[in-house]
């Protein structure tokens, strides 16, 4: 019998003026690298690794873009919440 992996996610909107740029992507990646499992950023069905700055930049997320942050394991719920809070706070910009 296969083990079912529970998925946890949050939808957030990019609120800062510059959108998801290199510095903000680096802050997400820094948090995501602390996860025990995979962390994903999803925009319009395209899923990229939140631990990769370059991958996130390929999504071209400007101000007002809705994205989904997803984790694979419930043990990383704190990582999910920290990333969502960072985005909702406009990356402190």
Return d(Cα 5, Cα 26) in angstroms, integer. 27
Q: Where are the alpha helices (DSSP H) in the chain?
A: 22-32, 53-57, 77-88
Marked catalytic residue, from 14, 20, 21, 71: 21
Q: Which of 5, 8, 12 is nearest to 91 (CA)?
A: 12
21 is catalytic: yes
Token pair 């996130």: residue: 56
Which amino acids are annotated catalytic? 21
């Amino acid at each position: 019998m296969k083990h079912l992996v529970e998925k946890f996610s949050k939808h957030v909107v990019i609120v800062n003026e510059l959108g998801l740029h290199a510095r903000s992507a680096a802050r997400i990646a820094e948090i995501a690298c602390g996860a025990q499992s995979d962390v994903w950023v999803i925009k319009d069905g395209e899923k990229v690794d939140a631990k990769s700055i370059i991958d996130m930049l390929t999504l071209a997320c400007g101000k007002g873009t809705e994205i989904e942050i997803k984790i694979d394991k419930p043990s990383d719920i704190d990582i999910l919440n920290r990333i969502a809070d960072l985005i909702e706070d406009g990356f402190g910009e």
